[in-house]
Amino acid sequence: MLLVFDVGNTTIGLGLFRGKKLVASWKIKSDREKTSDEYGIAFYNLLGHQKLSCEKIKGAIISSVVPPLTPIIQEACETYFKVRPLVVGPGIKTGIPILYENPAEVGSDRIVAACAAYEKYGGPCLVVDFGTATTFDAISKRGEYLGGAIAPGIQISAEALYLRTARLPRIEVKKPKSAIGRTTVASMQSGLYFGYIGLVKNIIVQMSAELETKPRVIATGGFAELITEEIQEIDSLEPNLLLEGLRLIFEKNRKAETKTS
């Protein structure tokens, strides 16, 4: 079995694959203060809770946008699962040519998502990842990573309103009953929700116009389900897109190792 880790700024997504099948997935909070033992025990317990044997794990792969956590997760894998994980970064085969001016600047999560989207849908396509930040990534008809856009996530926007104003409260991000709010909370929810829909739609329209043909638009990430129901331009919702991408990249590198050995 293969254990995959999508290490983000807010959460760590874990997936366990048996062959190509995702048999279990979890999310835990990203915490830079935790030790490798604390993470290792947490991972071990998650598998044990579903009666999944840790001894059957034969490989692991990590995509991380939080550099301080990368070696901690690596050490947890080596100590508790006895596997040395691959880390998505320079030198890893993804099958996606990166046409960014400086490829090293692209977050590994964006490349992983692009890999999965192109494998499943072909190109051109756009991936919208609703995470701590909302990222928009364009993949060409030939499977090239072209670049994209980065916007503050909807939760960051909500926190900014609370932290940078004297009287506005911290609110739950959710769809309001109407655009015209009759309370401060409802008004904030309206501005965040409908304003964010406008942001996402406009970026999709602008990026689509720059591609050769109309792209397939795929949404993923923690806030994707909340936002996408209002955006007709989004064609597919793929909650496990990054986990699937990690599996694909692991398989590409395992095949490459087999050919050279």
pLDDT score for 70:
96
pLDDT score for 237:
96
Q: Residue 127's closest CA among 231, 7, 14, 238?
A: 238
Using 50, 70 and 90 to split pLDDT, how confident is the model at 251?
Answer: very high
- Specify the DSSP class assigned to residue 182: S
pLDDT score for 72:
97
Using 50, 70 and 90 to split pLDDT, how confident is the model at 257?
Answer: low
2-87 and 103-245: same fold?
Answer: yes
The residues annotated with a catalytic role in the active site are 109
The hierarchical CATH code for the domain 103-245 is: 3.30.420.40
CB 145 within 8 Å of CB 100: yes
pLDDT score for 241:
97
Interval 219-250: pLDDT, tens: 999 999 999 888 999 999 999 999 999 999 99
Residue type at 140?
A: S
- Provide the CATH topology of domain 2-87: Nucleotidyltransferase; domain 5 (3.30.420)
What percent of the chain is predicted at pLDDT more than 70? 98
63 burial level (CB within 10 Å; 0-12, 13-18, 19+): buried
pLDDT exceeds cutoff 60 at 113? yes
pLDDT score for 53:
80
Domain assignments of the chain as residue spans, ordered by start: 2-87, 103-245
pLDDT score for 58:
93
pLDDT exceeds cutoff 60 at 26? yes
Using 50, 70 and 90 to split pLDDT, how confident is the model at 111?
Answer: very high
Beta-carbon contacts of 54 under 8 Å, excluding residues fewer than 6 positions away, are 44, 47, 48, 80, 81
User: Phi-psi region for residue 150, left (φ > 0), alpha (ψ -120 to 50) or beta?
Assistant: beta
DSSP characters for 149-172?
EEEE-HHHHHHHHHHTSSSPPP--
pLDDT exceeds cutoff 70 at 258? no
pLDDT score for 45:
92
